[in-house]
Amino acid sequence: MEIVFLDKKTIGEVSNFTMLHKLGNVEVFDQTDPSEVVPRASGKEVVITNKVPLTRETLDALPGLKLICVAATGTNNIDLKYAQEKGIQVRNVKSYSTESVAQSTFAMLLHLLNRMSYYEAYVKSGAYSKGKIFTHHGPAFWELSGKRMGIVGLGNIGRKVARIAESFGMEVVFYSTTGRNNNINYKRFDLDTLLATSDVVSIHAPLSESTQNLITYEKIRLMRPCAILLNTGRGGIVNEAGLARALNENLIGAAGIDVLLEEPIRPDNPLMRVVDKQKILITPHMAWASMESRARLIEGIARNIEQYKQDQAAD
């Protein structure tokens, strides 16, 4: 079986990558520009891609292609309808990053809430060593216990975040971005009520027509002045210009952002111009990328190829 991985650099070095080599002849490229897809994928039965787009025109130029393995959960870079018309299977990997994203969500939250950058800088500057008492009362922080966590999107990751929040003693409420989730374990709120009454708002929804630009400046104005907004879901859900404005106007306490509308971040992104850098934490779409998560991703890709081979043999 001829297999090509178009953008392996997106998953980094993974200890179990050899699982794929056992399934066929695998050609690996760190990155692939759209203009390079056809020559690199020609003659391949299986294409593995994370972010490289596979358009209608590209699929037409690859008559031997039978299976697209997405090295992620989202499939928005694939023309799914046309792939189906051509009989090309598309298989993604679900739930591989749940633990990693949930952990990273709370790493961001606690970093912002406890003002760790400030206190670390205070000590390393030498100021603490010159102090007269054992402690230092700098920026105040509050406890999670007894506060409300509002979750936007209560899927696998959202539910994991909810359970961790409960272990901190938080009350959990949620907003269903589809309107179909009626989880009996938590109160379901409309978006405005969730934003207005939550101490922490954490986004774990996919990007869709219903979530595009969901959190605007006007929506952020509903939030509490001390509230923290977290987005480890998808870029495009939070309006970045609106968030930057809200932070500069001190409408909310802080924001932690792991996903952006354009990645890598553009130098002129308004979030780069937030005046108080302590109020915003921006990470490079890495919340998903624990070592274990990436290993589970490879296992999922391998299972998808193995299942395809079994289905072909059965036919």
What residues are labeled active site? Answer: 234, 263, 285
Place of tokens 């490879």: 298
- Can you tell me the distance from the alpha carbon of 14 to that of 1, in angstroms, rounded to the nearest whole number? 22
Please tell me whether the peptide bond between 34 and the residue prior to it is cis, using omega within 30 degrees of 0. no
**Amino acid letter, 298:** I
- Can you tell me the distance from the alpha carbon of 234 to that of 175, in angstroms, rounded to the nearest whole number? 16
- Quick one: which H or E segment has residue 152? strand 148-152
Within the chain, residue ranges assigned H as helices are 18-21, 37-41, 56-60, 80-85, 98-113, 116-124, 156-167, 191-197, 217-220, 240-248, 291-314
- Six-digit token pair at 112? 């912002």
